[in-house]
Structure 1
Amino acid sequence: MAKADILMHPVRMRIIGLISRQAQTTQQLAKQMADVATPTLYHHLNLLVKAEILQVVKEEQKRGTYEKTYALVEGSSVLGTEDLSQMTADELMHMFQLFVSVLIGDYAQYLQQKKDRDYNDMGMRQALLHLSDQEFQQFLQELGTFFQPWLAYQPGPERRQRLFNTIVMSMPPSEQTQDEANKNSD
């Protein structure tokens, strides 16, 4: 099974999302994913472990069975350039639709839990950057470096979980950009 096929399943995306926030036991996942049957949850966990996207970081014996705690293998849940280049436009659209559906579900959950109508703890932003391919790669690298210390913070009484999503895509050149490129090449 291709990495994209493993990652881009709605149930597995939810599992990865939950485990990416903190290591989880099967019981913790089952409580948060009550709409998923237990055998189905185990099936998807086993696929993710076999694909080396998740790893078992702890096993405790409880009531005659072993309770496993799962964590994300660092960097395993990211599709690289090589993975993406092997996908068709239809597969990429399907992947994006799944991502957006999970994002919509997360946002609906956020709105449902807000009783005070105080929405100053969220934001939506869109920015248009003008970058060469090399500058874009540098931007991504620096963005990753910027996030590393923030990702290391552990849960605490004064800390709330904050979900951060990004969508990055190149836009077709605008007419103005094309005109400027043509002037520069003359």
Structure 2
Amino acid sequence: MEITQLMLHPIRLRIVNAVFDGRPFTTSQLRERLPDVPKATMYRHVGLLVEGGLIEVESEERKAGAVERTYRLQRSRTVIDGAAAAAMSNEDHRRGFAAGIASLLGEFEVYLSGKGADPTADMVTYRQVSLWLDDAEKEALYDDFIVAVRKRLDHNPSRDRRRHLLATIMFPTEVEP
């Protein structure tokens, strides 16, 4: 299965998001981060991501007669680059968008179901705003955004930090006929 096909699935997207920090993880640890995903489903999708080379087995350890694997995300392989995106059909983009929205809904439901979820105190936002931009302005906005995010991508977990999911969606709302 090619990378775009692997990434265009809501459960696999959630798995990639959950381990995007690049730290090693076991399936048990992953299930703690995604408690709503059934065990068999989790194992199946982790297996597909391993098969596709997006996740690698870092180590194996025998525990109580079973083999526990520790995995690591191959972050550089999870990016659908410009060439891959350009090769996607409109139907692929529909599926990718739907998978992304389904992934966000799943993550948001887990958050809201958690003890102590406080959207106001946690500064949860899901606002939409329309911008009038020419191509140069849109590119400058994108570049500014990427610079701001990259500065924070390599932050390590700490007592004061919680993992946050940032999702961006931008598309023209007017198209020429």
TM category, shorter:
0.7 to 0.9
Residues 1:47 and 2:44 are matched in the alignment: no
* Structure 1, unpaired ranges of 5+: 175-186
Q: CA deviation at 1:169?
A: 1.7
Structure 1 162/117 Cα, relative in aligned 2: closer, same or farther at 3 Å? closer
Q: Which amino acid aligns with 2:153?
A: L
Alignment of 1:53-132 (within 5 A): 53-113=54-114, 115=116, 117=118, 119-121=120-122, 122-127=124-129, 128=131, 130-132=133-135
- Taking the aligned partners of 1:136 and 1:118, their CA distance within structure 2 comes to 30
- Taking the aligned partners of 1:89 and 1:116, their CA distance within structure 2 comes to 37
- Taking the aligned partners of 1:51 and 1:123, their CA distance within structure 2 comes to 34
Residue in structure 2 matching 1:158, options 147, 160, 173: 160
Identity %: 26
Q: CA deviation at 1:130?
A: 1.1
Other-structure match for 2:5 = 5
Structure 1 141/76 Cα, relative in aligned 2: closer, same or farther at 3 Å? farther
Q: Which amino acid aligns with 1:83?
A: A
Q: CA deviation at 1:64?
A: 4.3
The alignment of Structure 1 onto Structure 2 pairs a total of residues equal to 172
Q: Which amino acid aligns with 1:25?
A: T
Contact 1:19–1:70 (CA under 8 A) maintained in structure 2: no
Residue in structure 1 matching 2:150, options 116, 133, 148: 148
Q: CA deviation at 1:141?
A: 4.1
Structure ID, larger Rg: 1
- Partner-residue secondary structure (3-state), 2:19: helix
- Taking the aligned partners of 1:110 and 1:37, their CA distance within structure 2 comes to 19
- Partner-residue secondary structure (3-state), 2:126: coil
Q: TM-score, normalised by structure 1?
A: 0.74
Q: TM-score, normalised by structure 2?
A: 0.77
- Cα RMSD over matched residues? 2.8
CA displacement 1:42-83 (0-9 Å, x = unmatched): 332232123221223344443344422222212322222222
Other-structure match for 2:31 = 30
Greater length-normalized contact order (CA 8 Å, ≥ 6 residues apart): 2
- Partner-residue secondary structure (3-state), 2:76: coil
